[in-house]
Chains A and B, each alone.
Chain A
Amino acid sequence: MTDLEDFEANASGNGESLTVELALANLSGSDRGQRYYAAWWLGRFRVRTREAVDALIATLSDESDLTPDGGYPLRRNSARALGKLGDVRAVPGLIECLDCTDFYVREAAAQSLGMLGDRAAVPKLIQLLEGGLEAAQPIPGCPHLAQPYDAILEALGALGAAEAFSSIEPFLKHPTELVQYSAARALYQLTQDSLYGDRLIEALTNDKLQLRRSALTDLGAIGYLPACDAIAQTHAENSLKLIALKGLLEHQIDRSPFDRLSEGAIRVMALMDDLL
Chain B
Amino acid sequence: MTAELAEVLIRAVEEADSSTRLLEAVQQLSAARLTAAIPTLIAALGYNNPGAAVAAVDGLIQIGEPAVLPLLELLDGYNYGARAWAIRALAGIGDPRGLDMLLDAAKNDFALSVRRAAARGLGKIRWEELPSEQVQLAQERSLEALLQVSQDPEWVVRYAAVTGLQELAKSFTLSHIDAARQILAHFDRRVEDEDNLAVIARIWLAQKEIRDYTTEILESQEQEYETVSTLVSALDFDWQATLEKLYARKRREEPLHEGDPRKFRELAAAISSAIA
Contact = CB atoms under 8 A, between A and B. Distances in A.
Interface of A: 1-2, 5-6, 8-9, 12-13, 235-239, 242, 246, 249-250, 252-253, 260-261, 265-266, 269, 272-273, 276
Main secondary structure on B side of the interface with A: helix
Interface in B62-101: 80-81, 84
Contacts of A242: 156
Contacts of B156: 239, 242, 246, 276
B8 interface: no
A237 B51 CA distance: 9
A249 B208 contact: no
B112 A261 contact: no
Contacts of B155: 246
A249 B163 contact: no
Contacts of B110: 9
Contacts of B116: 276
A250 B159 CA distance: 13
A119 to B, nearest CB: 25
Contacts, number: 69
A185 to B, nearest CB: 20
Interface of B: 48, 50-51, 80-81, 84, 110-113, 116-117, 119-120, 153-156, 159-160, 163, 197-198, 200-202, 204-205, 208
B113 A269 contact: no
Main secondary structure on A side of the interface with B: helix
Given A13-B153, A273-B163, A235 B51 contact: yes
Contacts of B111: 2, 5-6, 9
Given A261-B204, A261-B208, A273-B163, 11 more contacts: A1-B81, A1-B84, A5-B84, A235-B50, A236-B50, A237-B50, A238-B113, A249-B201, A272-B198, A272-B202, A276-B116
Contact of B163 (A236, A246, A260, A276): A276
7 contacts: A1-B84, A235-B51, A239-B112, A239-B113, A249-B198, A250-B198, A276-B119
Contacts of B198: 246, 249-250, 272
B153 A12 contact: yes
Nearest to A236: B50
Contacts of A9: 110-112
A1 B120 contact: no
A273 B120 contact: yes
A249 B159 CA distance: 13
B154 A261 contact: no
B120 A8 contact: no
Contacts of B51: 235
B154 A250 contact: no
A237 to B, nearest CB: 6
Nearest to A8: B112
B112 A276 contact: no
Contacts of B50: 1, 235-238
Contacts of A276: 116-117, 119-120, 156, 159-160, 163
A250 B48 CA distance: 31
Contacts of A265: 201, 205
A250 B197 contact: yes
A260 B113 contact: no
A13 B113 CA distance: 16
Contacts of A12: 153-154
A263 to B, nearest CB: 12
A8 B41 CA distance: 28
Nearest to A13: B153
B60 to A, nearest CB: 16
Contacts of B202: 269, 272
